[in-house]
């Protein structure tokens, strides 16, 4: 019996020792963070470098000239000389509208004018012998002049029944058929001058002074790496208020079969070389609602400084104002840092 009591006591002590060991294992020692200690962050010393100011912006290929073909008067189409996609010369007859009624009116007026002119000649002879009054003669001349004006008006209307090509160009798709009744709101087709092309793009307002007439620009299009050149023809007279950009129009050099009006163009603008451009890592800039800020480190503490930025790439951004060469700015732990926080630099680039 005494032996059993000793065995039970031994088992109990063993259980207590095992439980104590497991508790110590679970509570592995952890180094406590020092309250009020400085945060660790990485820094970057602001420096200057040679920076090529290149700007890539989207553009659009345009025909040199383009217009919609519409009639000036309403009527039935009796002649249609539009071959879709064909090239036509300036002045070529494209559409003829029925003008039979106008031609008949013209003949009637011409006969009336002939009679009026003969009457005026007789009145002139009678006036010389005082056979009629001066007023009667003047009325006959007035009638002849009115008829001449009516004839001119009818001829103008007859000319409006013919739609001719306004310039050398390529005809687009036609929207009517022979015999259709068309009105001034009807778009018969389009004509585009594609022997030479234009290209349009918009630049941020800060580059507006660089967009001088004659300046050379380069661009590429989708599907090819070929580089095309263009020269600035003109710029818009005002900056677009909504986008704060300036529209630029250029003339493409040469004639290229690959370029089609309406195509997307990627414009490359070379704005010169800046040998003293201040740069910092892109991730160091903190965007705000109205500005951009960086965290400047000095003597173990920090302050937030507002900056203006210029061109950027995937790694660095140009600083145009707000910093000086030699300033140290923070590049990590930006969200955890507050004004006048105590900082310890773990690494400085």
Model pLDDT, residue 31? 31
CB atoms within 10 A of CB 114: 12
333 vs 219, residue with greater confidence: 219
Q: What is the DSSP string of 312-324?
A: E-SSEEEEEES--
Model pLDDT, residue 277? 85
Q: What is the DSSP string of 135-187?
A: HHHHHHHHHHHHHHHHHHHHHHHHHTTEEE-SSSEEE------TT-EE-TT--
Q: How do strand 343-348 and strand 39-45 relate by DSSP bridges? A: parallel
Q: Rounded to 5 degrees, what angle do the CA atoms 126, 129, 131 make?
A: 50
Model pLDDT, residue 117? 92
pLDDT digits (tens, 9 = 90+) for 55-76: 889 999 999 999 999 999 999 9
pTM: predicted TM-score of the whole model, two decimal places: 0.64
pLDDT band at 12 (very low <50, low <70, confident <90, very high): very low
207 Cβ contact partners less than 8 Å away, ≥ 6 residues apart = 55, 246, 269, 271
Domains and CATH numbers, the chain: 40-51+275-348 (2.40.420.20), 56-64+193-273 (2.40.30.170), 71-96+167-187 (no CATH), 99-160 (1.10.287.470)
Q: How do strand 228-235 and strand 245-252 relate by DSSP bridges? A: antiparallel
- The pLDDT of residue 10 is above 70: no
- The pLDDT of residue 14 is above 70: no
CA dihedral 100, 103, 108, 109 (to 10 degrees): 140
CA within 13 Å, CB half, 53: 17
User: Which region among 51-60, 80-89, 182-191, 238-247 has the lowest average model confidence (pLDDT)?
Assistant: 51-60
Q: How far apart are CA 345 and CA 323, in angstroms?
A: 19
pLDDT digits (tens, 9 = 90+) for 125-179: 898 888 888 999 899 999 999 999 999 999 999 999 999 999 999 999 999 999 9
Model pLDDT, residue 36? 58
Q: How far apart are CA 326 and CA 321, in angstroms?
A: 14
* Residue 282 per-residue DSSP state: G
pLDDT digits (tens, 9 = 90+) for 276-298: 888 899 998 998 888 899 999 88
Query: By three-state DSSP, how is residue 326 classified?
Result: coil
CB atoms within 10 A of CB 7: 10
pLDDT band at 27 (very low <50, low <70, confident <90, very high): very low
Please give the share of the chain, as a percent, with pLDDT higher than 70.
90
Strand partners for 247: 202
User: 16-47 b/e with 16+ CB inside 10 Å = b?
Assistant: eeeeeeeeeeeeeeeeeeeeeeebebebbebe
* Residue 325 per-residue DSSP state: T
Asked whether the beta carbons of 191 and 83 are under 8 A apart, the reply is no
191 vs 348, residue with greater confidence: 191
116 Cβ contact partners less than 8 Å away, ≥ 6 residues apart = 140, 143, 144, 147
Question: Between the CA of residue 115 and those of 84, 120, 151, what are the distances in Å?
Answer: 48, 9, 14
Q: How far apart are CA 34 and CA 53, in angstroms?
A: 47
208 Cβ contact partners less than 8 Å away, ≥ 6 residues apart = 235, 239, 246
- The pLDDT of residue 32 is above 80: no
Nearest Cα to Cα of residue 43 among 326, 275, 239: 326
**Can you tell me the mean pLDDT for 227-246?**
93
Average confidence score pLDDT of the chain = 86
């Amino acid at each position: 019996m005494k032996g059993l009591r000793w065995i039970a006591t031994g088992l109990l002590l063993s259980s207590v020792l095992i439980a104590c060991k497991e508790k110590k294992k679970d509570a592995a020692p952890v180094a406590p963070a020092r309250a009020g200690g400085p945060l660790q962050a990485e820094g970057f010393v602001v420096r200057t470098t040679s920076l090529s100011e290149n700007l890539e912006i989207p553009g659009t290929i345009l025909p040199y000239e383009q217009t919609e073909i519409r009639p000036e008067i309403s009527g039935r189409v009796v002649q249609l000389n539009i071959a879709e996609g064909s090239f036509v010369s300036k002045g070529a007859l494209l559409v003829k509208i029925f003008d039979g009624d106008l031609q008949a009116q013209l003949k009637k007026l011409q006969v009336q004018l002939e009679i009026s002119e003969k009457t005026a000649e007789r009145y002139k002879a009678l006036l010389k012998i005082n056979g009629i009054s001066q007023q009667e003669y003047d009325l006959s001349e007035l009638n002849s002049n009115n008829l001449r004006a009516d004839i001119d008006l009818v001829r103008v209307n007859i000319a409006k029944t013919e739609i001719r090509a306004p310039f050398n160009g390529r005809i687009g798709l036609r929207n009517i058929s022979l015999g259709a009744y068309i009105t001034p709101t009807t778009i018969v087709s389009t004509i585009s001058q594609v022997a030479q092309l234009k290209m349009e793009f918009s630049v941020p307002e800060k580059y507006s002074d660089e967009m001088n007439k004659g300046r050379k620009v380069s661009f590429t299009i989708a599907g090819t790496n070929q580089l095309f050149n263009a020269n600035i023809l003109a710029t818009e007279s005002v900056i677009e208020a909504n986008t704060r950009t300036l529209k630029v129009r250029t003339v493409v050099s040469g004639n290229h079969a690959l370029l089609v009006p309406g195509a997307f163009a990627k414009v490359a603008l070379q704005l010169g070389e800046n040998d003293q451009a201040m740069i910092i890592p892109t991730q160091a800039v903190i965007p705000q609602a109205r500005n951009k800020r960086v965290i400047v480190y000095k003597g173990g503490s920090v302050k937030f400084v507002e900056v203006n930025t210029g061109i950027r790439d995937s790694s660095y951004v140009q600083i145009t104002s707000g910093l000086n060469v030699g300033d140290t700015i923070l590049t990590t732990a930006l969200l955890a840092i507050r004004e006048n926080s105590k900082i310890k630099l773990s690494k400085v680039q």
